[in-house]
Structure 1
Amino acid sequence: MSKYLLDKFLYTVDRDADLTERYREDPAGTVDWWESTMANALLNSHSGEASTWLRFTDEERAALAGHDHVALFALGAHPFLTLTLFIAMFERDHDEPLFYQKQYGARLAHFELPYPDIAT
């Protein structure tokens, strides 16, 4: 498991409006594409350097493909990264102000301290 890779996915997808829409519409395809093309690229690097070993586990891939922020939290993905990305994808589906944020919190309410470690 790589919390770094989960967070990197969430971070990079959230910062590209086209990629955010692609992830909303085709989550499994986006996860597969991102893993094969972006996972091993150095974050914020334009030098062409890359690593070769980073891969999602099956559990991580399923959580990402399922837009499952509860599973991602349990896996150690940073909750601010999931929240900001998922607001961008799903807030528009609800008319009530802050509906998605409230739903997000309610779905995480069963977690007790100590929370999963979100350090990378």
Structure 2
Amino acid sequence: MSKYLLDKFLFTVDRDPDLVERYREDPAGTVEWWEREMANKLLNCIDAERSTWLAFTDEERRALREHDHVTLFRMGAHPFLTLTLFIAMFERDHGPLEYQQAYGRAMAEAGIALPYPDIAT
């Protein structure tokens, strides 16, 4: 399991409105494409410079495909990255602050309370 790779996915998708929509509409396809094309691309480098070893675990892929922010949090994904991305994807389907409150309730119902997992970056 790689907190780095989870956070990299959440960060890069959240920063591109087209990827946000793609992830909202086709999460499995987006996760598969991103892992194949982007996971091993080094930040701030030319395309020819890539790593070869980074990949999601089956559990990470499932959580990303299912938009399961509780499981992502338990795996160590940074909560601000999941929250901002999921707000971009789902807030439009809810009233003011309704999605954020549902996000918090899901965390509380899952028994997530302080101390939080390590969210150091």
Bin the TM-score by the shorter chain: over 0.9
Query: In the alignment, what sits opposite 2:116?
Result: 115
Query: In the alignment, what sits opposite 1:33?
Result: 33
Query: In the alignment, what sits opposite 1:101?
Result: 100
1:62 and 1:72 map into 2 onto residues whose CA distance is: 10
What amino acid does structure 1 have at the position aligned with 2:52?
Answer: T
Query: In the alignment, what sits opposite 1:61?
Result: 61
Q: TM-score, normalised by structure 2?
A: 0.93
**Displacement of 1:47:** 5.8
Q: Secondary structure at the match of 1:67?
A: coil
**30 and 47 in structure 1: CA distance in 2 versus 1, 3 angstrom threshold:** closer
Deviations for 1:71-95, whole angstroms, at most 9, x for unmatched residues?
A: 000000000000000000000001x
C-alpha contact (below 8 Å) 1:76/1:118 kept by paired residues = yes
Query: In the alignment, what sits opposite 1:13?
Result: 13
**Seq. identity, %:** 76
Deviations for 1:33-73, whole angstroms, at most 9, x for unmatched residues?
A: 00000000012434632111000000100000000000000
> Which stretch of structure 1 is more off in the superposition, 43-52 or 61-70?
43-52
C-alpha contact (below 8 Å) 2:41/2:47 kept by paired residues = no
Q: Secondary structure at the match of 1:42?
A: coil
C-alpha contact (below 8 Å) 1:3/1:118 kept by paired residues = no
Q: How many residues align?
A: 119
Instruction: Name structure 2 gaps, 5 residues minimum.
Output: none
Query: In the alignment, what sits opposite 1:77?
Result: 77
2:45 and 2:19 map into 1 onto residues whose CA distance is: 18
Q: Secondary structure at the match of 2:102?
A: helix
What amino acid does structure 1 have at the position aligned with 2:62?
Answer: A
